[in-house]
Chains A and B, each alone.
Chain A
Amino acid sequence: MTDLSTRPASTRDWLLSDAPSTRRQARLGALYQGWLTFRANTLAMVGLVILIGLVLMAIFAPWLSPYDPVAQNLGDRLMPPSGAHWLGTDALGRDILSRIIWGSRVTLFIVGTVALISPILGLLIGTVAGFAGGWVDQVLMRITDIFLAFPKLILALALVAALGPGIFNAVLALAITGWPPYARLSRAETLAVRHADYIAAARLQGAGPARLLVGHVWPMCVSSLIVRVALDMAGIILSAAGLGFLGLGAQPPLAEWGAMISDGRTYILDHWWVAAMPGLAIFIVSLAFNLLGDGLRDVLDPKGAKE
């Protein structure tokens, strides 16, 4: 038993060692320290727990939801929350709880995809611009400015209109409208490290531009990008809800939280739960992402840290 109880302590010591003997130990140690900082942040932990709950909800949706999310019953429409329908029913008599549970899959899909595409696109454009400099930088940044100055709504609407409706195209439109801020951020980070000694050293060792970019510049940008992405997640959800509001997101009968609110707003004065329940779901998840993002910033962002 003593053996077992001492080992975690020694692992901890190994991780927290002042003098890491291998690169791997150093890296893991840094991660672990980050985790310790993060864990100390109660709010961020709350966010994390909520999000883990969301993922579990999405995975186990078929077992968790009490009803078929698309089964209609016009006789039971607009029922207030009750024992049979914990969160009530919507205008077509569908169980709101079941739709929210199934909708978590859609939400995760949207957030996951956008959060993957936008930053990567931005990272690519921003680092290339910052690293190459000169006219490449000029051209890429002008393009970024154009997209930044563009009324976002028009771009997203036009893209969805051009691509055709559907959840996937909505996601794509959001991703395409979302990259410019990431590009500017990556460029700024790149400019900051471009002339750093370690880059020069790598260059002297014969590393080509591509190698430098991927191996030495990108890692420098990643942490601030992650922070920003985490903080943007809530915005992504709300934006997707906005597209749903305009009828360009998820297609019926797919349960998507934004579309559910927009359906429910017709009944907001007398049947508040129809819009409030998915609204609450969006609020909770957005809040969780924001809490998580705030916590991550403390850990990852060296400048804004130590709050």
Chain B
Amino acid sequence: MTRFSPRAILLASAIAVAPLSAAWAETPADVLVVAHTIDDIISLDPAQSFEFSGNDVTQNLYSRLVDFDPLNLEAGFQPSLAEKWEVSEDGKTITLTLREGVTFQSGNPVRAEDAAWSLQRAVKLDKSPAFILTQFGLTPENVDQMVKADGNTVSITMDQPYAQSFVLNCLSASVASVIDKETVLQHVEGDDLGNAWLTTNSAGSGPYALAAWRPNEVVQLTAFENYFGGAPKMKRVIVKNVQESSAQRLQLEAGDIDVARNLTPSDIEGVTGKEGIVIKDEPRGRILYMGMSQRDPLLSQAPVQQAMRHLIDFEGMANSFLKGQWRIHQNFIPEGYLGASDENPWTYDIEAAKKILTDAGITGGTITTKVRDLREYLDVAQTLQASMAQAGLTLNIEQMTGAQVLDAYRAREVPIFLGEWGPDYADPQTNAGTFAWNPDNEGKGSTLAWRNSYAVPAAMQEAVKAATLEGDSDKRKQMYLDIQAEYRANAPILPLFQRVEQAAMRDTVKDWSAGGAVTSVMYHQVSKGE
């Protein structure tokens, strides 16, 4: 089949004239230029940053007590600022010993006191990511007693003997970044613990320091030569905000950028095989799921929930508009996590769905739902709309901004919610604790289960709780597998796909890591060769 590409026609008729742009064949050898959508950053304070692209920055500005190795993410958390740790006999206190001789970018030494203060600060500020720490029983009132520095060790005391892996996974999260206390204390305004200043400045010991952040425009990082893990090879990292996939692609092809992180499946296809460009697929932790509100008279019926499992054209979507960027994943723990399951039993089968509905005496129904105005969601919603129509169910779609949909979702007013859940830290509890946790369905809550008015069975909630306390990793894994099997069978929340990030980059870029499923992008190991 012929494609009359305008490119070909124009290329043929193009006349070379002296270019106006200072067209550089490629970016400088020690500068990494990344195009990414970074308009969601609202703060670079680790105690507040909670957006994907914000964490992408803080990940590189700060070090944590434990961190991931970008070249071996499967190995799990590794010693970082803490070189070793031990757990008390009752399992409630974990004591970490700090590495000697590490300095902050300011030149101040990294002390146990800084680590303790950073954790205390995050708990006291109580911003969005604070729950990652407060779930261990830390509160603004007790945190000064529970988290203590002593010499070169810091100890954390918890209300329960939580699994060691659970605790350390949480300490690898951005919110647990170790901050330069002395520097921040010079910039405190009122009782903000330096929050306003840290929003737009950095005070860490990570491989990069913040050179500039111009919102919706650019983030510039400069290498910290004395980084304890060795001086980064890239002396500058520049992340440009480029919204349109086509614009990112043109810049990548022109050699003006090294990495394009938001190419659509269609543009990925377009650059595949182009000389000098390689694509790196990396499964991320985000799950695209569909929540069916149990307040909705139709969706609260078990047969409808079962029928819906057959009305989703998994293969069709994964092979078309989601191609390469979302893979079928019908479990709430993403691949790359302890206890992830690769069972995907639901299949697209209109007849089966019809039969389930007919057997239950359901002949039709109408649902009006709100969908966020992102193209992927809308495409998924329209595909669902078409297949539901075949089974006699009418789906009306109202597209809205993210904020509006979220607002309605928080008020439990979205009948069919299509959205993503990204893990907050590298432990399965981050997803189990929201998909399968709803202690007070009648009262106030904020978990996914609550927002879908799904009264999680008591037995399942107990299992979720027990899994956080299980010290044996193999047993813990099995517990999560069991929970998910039960969830697949009966829950009204359907995990559909897991995100795969396709970063297209110049082939000179080596060792790129967006952080896999467990963490955020890391730059210090990246190099550029020939």
Contact = CB atoms under 8 A, between A and B. Distances in A.
A36 interface: no
Nearest to B249: A269
B190 to A, nearest CB: 33
Contacts of A78: 266
Interface in B146-174: none
Chain B interface extent, by class: 35 or more
User: Which applies to chain A's interface (DSSP): helix, strand, loop or mixed?
Assistant: loop
B267 A269 contact: yes
Contacts, number: 88
A267 B266 contact: yes
Contacts of A66: none
A161 interface: yes
Contacts of A91: 320-321, 379
Interface stretch (B135-143, B396-404, B455-463): B396-404
A252 B384 CA distance: 12
A21 interface: no
A266 interface: yes
A71 B383 CA distance: 10
A126 to B, nearest CB: 34
A253 interface: yes
A79 B2 CA distance: 10
Contacts of A79: 1
Interface string A19-58: 0000000000000000000000000000000000000000
A165 B386 contact: no
A106 interface: no
A270 B269 contact: yes
Contacts of B316: 74-75
Nearest to B267: A269
B378 A77 contact: no
A75 B316 CA distance: 8
B246 A253 contact: no
B101 interface: no
Contacts of A252: 378, 381-382, 385, 397, 399
B6 interface: yes
Interface string A138-166: 00000000000000000000000100111
Interface in B1-46: 1-7
A270 B1 contact: no
B245 interface: yes
A246 B373 CA distance: 8
A216 interface: no
Interface in A67-97: 70-72, 74-75, 77-80, 82, 91-93
Contact of B386 (A70, A247, A265): A70
A92 B321 contact: yes
A125 to B, nearest CB: 31
Contact of B266 (A80, A92, A271): A271
Given A74-B320, A269-B267, A272-B5, A253 B382 contact: yes
A253 B397 CA distance: 8
A289 B4 CA distance: 30
A93 B379 CA distance: 11
Interface string B256-290: 00000000101101100000000000000000000
B375 interface: yes
Interface string A254-289: 000000000101111111100000000000000000
A192 B459 CA distance: 82
B398 A164 contact: yes
B313 interface: yes
B320 A247 contact: no
A251 interface: yes
B319 interface: yes
Nearest to B374: A247
A251 B2 contact: no
A165 B398 contact: yes
B266 A161 contact: no
A216 B461 CA distance: 77
A165 B246 contact: no
B102 interface: no
> Which of A166, A251, A265 is packed against the most chain B CB atoms within 10 Å?
A251
A266 B375 contact: yes
Closest 9 CB pairs of A and B: A247-B373, A74-B316, A74-B320, A270-B270, A72-B386, A267-B266, A252-B382, A247-B399, A266-B264
Interface of A: 70-72, 74-75, 77-80, 82, 91-93, 161, 164-166, 246-248, 251-253, 263, 265-272
Interface of B: 1-7, 244-246, 249-250, 264, 266-267, 269-270, 313, 316-317, 319-321, 373, 375, 378-379, 381-383, 385-386, 396-401, 404
Given A251-B396, A269-B250, A270-B5, 11 more contacts: A72-B386, A74-B321, A91-B321, A165-B398, A165-B400, A248-B399, A252-B381, A252-B382, A253-B382, A266-B245, A272-B5
